[in-house]
């Protein structure tokens, strides 16, 4: 496995791999890797000849009062996990290699980013799309692998790729969870023991939504209300949103659709968690 921090060198390594007609896959991450990230690299390994993982804590996707400076950085362990998952190349730029002082270009998806995470974190998705566009340009992939965990993010990336006529296939991989249901996240390590216990209400609310859609005649609005009630009844959990929306557009649904996505976001102390679940209606 090669580890490289210079964009021009990465470009050259991928160009050489491409000469052998390799299908190139990229897995963008911010490091502090866990089994969810590993599942993306393993999926890329099954679908691609040359697998690039990227590790970059992207400053432009954090808001001014967010956790950029204390975001976990565990590079040595991350590289070990990439190696075990059989990545071919890990791109580990530092901030000055990704953003020159005179940079002034932003890639912006205008509408999909206005709701949910974008409403709570107004500059977040501009940072995500700009850095992912740069990572796509540097690694020139055929396929890119993202987690369903960040449901809105994978939709935003799909929009960007379609709108900019980028011939990259976006593959969305299932959410990897802890045994008790908590979606794996680099931020879970911030939780105190008590918060860790309380965090279970997020996945429980999604399970409730799944059951109501499948087993009752409840409408999306009624399901949302029951999910919200469950979360609001848990001490120490501050609800940002619990909603049931179109999985394609994130717009509200009329009546009962065939399927939808339930999305939740909540804060436990200083830690903000998100999770989601596809719902099938009976």
**Distance in Å, CB of 217 to ligand AMP, minimum:** 32
For ligand AMP, the closer CB: 98 or 218: 98
Identify which of residues 182 and 244 has a Cβ nearer to ligand AMP in the complex: 182
Could you tell me the smallest distance in angstroms from the CB atom of residue 5 to ligand AMP?
A: 17
**For ligand AMP, which is the closer residue by CB, 43 or 198?**
43
Nearest by Cα to 262 from 236, 185, 218: 218
**Sign (positive/negative) of CA torsion 125, 130, 133, 139?**
negative
Phi, psi (rounded to 5 degrees) for 2: -90, 145
What's the min distance (Å) between Cβ of 147 and ligand AMP? 2
| Euclidean distance between CA atoms 61 and 127, whole angstroms | 4
Whichever of 10 and 274 has its CB closer to ligand AMP, that residue is: 274
- Are 54 and 26 a contacting pair, CB within 8 Å? yes
User: Given the rule CB under 6 A, which residues bind ligand AMP?
Assistant: 29-30, 36-37, 39-40, 146-147, 149-150, 173, 175-176, 183-186
Tell me which residues are annotated as active site.
37
User: Cβ of residue 63: shortest distance to ligand AMP, in angstroms?
Assistant: 15
Query: Minimal distance in Å, beta carbon 128 to ligand AMP?
Result: 8
Long-range contacts of residues 60-68, Cβ cutoff 8 Å, at least 24 apart: 60/99, 60/123, 60/126, 60/127, 60/130, 60/131, 61/123, 61/124, 61/125, 61/127, 61/128, 61/131, 62/124, 62/127, 63/121, 63/122, 63/123, 63/124, 66/121, 67/187, 67/190, 67/270
Angle between helices 124-139 and 151-163 (to 10 degrees): 60
Nearer to ligand AMP, 147 or 209 (CB): 147
């Amino acid at each position: 496995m090669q580890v490289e921090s210079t964009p021009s060198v990465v470009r050259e390594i991928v160009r050489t791999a491409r000469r052998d007609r390799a299908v190139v896959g990229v897995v963008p991450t911010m490091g502090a890797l866990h089994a969810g990230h590993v599942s993306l690299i393993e999926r890329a390994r099954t679908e691609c000849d040359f697998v690039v993982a990227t590790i970059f804590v992207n400053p432009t996707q954090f808001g001014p009062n967010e956790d950029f400076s204390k975001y976990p950085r565990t590079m040595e362990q991350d590289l070990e996990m990439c190696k075990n998952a059989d990545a071919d190349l890990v791109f580990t730029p530092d901030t000055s290699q990704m953003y020159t002082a005179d940079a002034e270009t932003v890639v912006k998806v205008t509408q999909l980013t206005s709701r949910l995470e974008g409403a709570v974190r107004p500059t977040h998705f501009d940072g995500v799309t700009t850095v992912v566009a740069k990572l796509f340009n540097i690694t020139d992939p055929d396929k890119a692998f993202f987690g369903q965990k960040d449901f809105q993010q994978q939709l935003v990336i799909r929009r960007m790729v379609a709108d900019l006529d980028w011939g990259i296939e976006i593959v969305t991989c299932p959410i990897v969870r802890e045994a008790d249901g908590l979606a794996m996240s680099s931020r879970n390590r911030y939780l105190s023991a008590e918060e860790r216990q309380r965090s279970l209400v997020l996945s429980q609310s999604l399970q409730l939504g799944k059951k109501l859609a499948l087993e009752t005649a409840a409408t999306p609005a009624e399901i949302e209300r029951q999910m919200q009630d469950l979360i609001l009844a848990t001490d120490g959990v501050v609800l940002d949103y619990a909603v049931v929306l179109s999985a394609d557009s994130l717009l509200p649904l009329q009546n009962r659709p065939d399927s939808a996505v339930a999305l939740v976001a909540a804060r436990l102390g200083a830690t903000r968690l998100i999770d989601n679940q596809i719902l099938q209606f009976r």
